[in-house]
Amino acid sequence: MTDRAFAVVRAGALTTVQDLGRSGHAHLGVPRSGALDPGAARLVNRLLGNPEGAAVLETTVVGCAVRPRCAVTVAVGGAPCPVTVDGRPVAWGAAVRVPAGALLAIGAATHGLRAYVGFGGGIAVEPVLGSRSTDLLSGLGPAPLADGAVLPLGAEPAVRGPLDAPPWRGPSDELVLRVRLGPRDDWFTEGALRTLATRAYRVSAASNRIGLRTEGPPLERAITAELPSEGMVLGAVQVPPDGRPVVFLADHPTTGGYPVVAVVREADVAAAAQAAPGTVVRFVPTG
């Protein structure tokens, strides 16, 4: 069979279909979702001549393996990782032609957490609310990949343009997140705000697509009353009862009842999505 599709041979720990998300539906309780590292997703699509919002695979830590039913051009970016076709190494961060029936294997990330696998023409699953993204919180979009699943591909572009940006080089040893304090910084003591700005935290293994959880000194509340639920945004630094900050990522809830001490600049959120457990995290208030 040579139809435009691929079969999943090894789904990996968590591999999902992602594009640039479904913005504009927070009032319905629907998160943005989309690729946690949108720059990496855009880059693999640019390598392939796809529109930047074409759907790709987002793998987590251990990669995945698929078998295209047609010849297709593929690019892998995001977290650096080994890539093979029928067991032979091929380039990471470049467009590679994969024959019909060959096994494309994406190995474990050597740096970072999430690799992005783009296909010429993009993954053509049915869009939901204008996006093909898997949303783990609301359950919208296609299910996470499972062994044996078959996903359709779009028509491959006839021409690929020149690459105008270098491949992503991987995360640094320390994650520096620029934040703007508020809207609920007044719910914390001056000592807590000083702790947030000067002490080091580490990425918790409990982190996921909803939020980056941290381990480190708790932030002391000045106001201990209950806070009515209010709107949440990408990059919100929410502080649950244990006092350890949580940075909201793409699948975050649209409302929450714990105070938000600060908000991470959107330009820094992708780096948070690639930070492995144990990575040092520093919050830097920018005013």
User: Is 166 within a domain?
Assistant: no
Angle at 130 between CA 114 and CA 97, to 5 degrees: 50
**Which amino acid is it at 193?**
L
Distances in Å between the Cα of 89 and the Cα atoms of 83, 84, 137, 140, 174 are 6, 4, 36, 35, 30
Which pLDDT value is given to residue 29?
Answer: 83
How many domains, in total, are found in the chain? 2
Which pLDDT value is given to residue 137?
Answer: 87
Q: What is the pTM of this model?
A: 0.92
Mean pLDDT of 79-96: 95
Mean pLDDT of 100-128: 97
Domain match, 34 and 145 both: yes
Domain match, 137 and 74 both: yes
User: Is 107 within a domain?
Assistant: yes
Which pLDDT value is given to residue 140?
Answer: 94
Give yes or no for a contact between 31 and 252, defined as CB atoms under 8 angstroms apart.
yes
* pLDDT tops 60 at residue 165: no
Half-sphere exposure of 166 (CA within 13 A, CB side): 3
Domain match, 13 and 66 both: yes
Parent domain of 57: 5-152
Domain match, 136 and 242 both: no
Residue where a domain stops, chosen among 105, 120, 152: 152
What value does the mean pLDDT of the chain take?
93
Mean pLDDT of 93-97: 92
Which pLDDT value is given to residue 259?
Answer: 98
Domain match, 109 and 192 both: no
Which pLDDT value is given to residue 123?
Answer: 98
Mean pLDDT of 132-151: 96
Domain match, 36 and 139 both: yes
Domain match, 216 and 130 both: no
User: Is 165 within a domain?
Assistant: no
* pLDDT tops 50 at residue 220: yes
Domain at 191, CATH number = 2.40.100.10
Mean pLDDT of 34-45: 95
Domain match, 147 and 250 both: no
* pLDDT tops 60 at residue 47: yes
User: Is 217 within a domain?
Assistant: yes
How many CB atoms are located within 10 Å of the residue 257 CB? Answer: 13
Domain match, 134 and 186 both: no
Give yes or no for a contact between 51 and 44, defined as CB atoms under 8 angstroms apart.
no
* pLDDT tops 70 at residue 164: no
Which pLDDT value is given to residue 2?
Answer: 53
**SS3 for 74?**
strand
Mean pLDDT of 199-228: 96
Which pLDDT value is given to residue 167?
Answer: 56
Cis peptide leading into residue 183 (ω within 30°): yes
User: Is 162 within a domain?
Assistant: no
**SS3 for 11?**
coil
* pLDDT tops 80 at residue 127: yes
Which pLDDT value is given to residue 170?
Answer: 61
Q: Give percent of the chain with pLDDT exceeding 70.
A: 94
Give yes or no for a contact between 52 and 38, defined as CB atoms under 8 angstroms apart.
no
DSSP state of 168: P
Mean pLDDT of 37-66: 96
Domain match, 135 and 60 both: yes
Which pLDDT value is given to residue 26?
Answer: 83
User: Is 75 within a domain?
Assistant: yes
User: Is 163 within a domain?
Assistant: no
How many CB atoms are located within 10 Å of the residue 161 CB? Answer: 10
Give yes or no for a contact between 134 and 208, defined as CB atoms under 8 angstroms apart.
no
Q: Is the dihedral of CA 90, 95, 99, 100 positive or negative?
A: positive
Domain match, 97 and 220 both: no
Domain match, 139 and 30 both: yes
Which pLDDT value is given to residue 230?
Answer: 94
pLDDT in tens, 257-285: 999 999 999 999 999 989 999 999 999 99
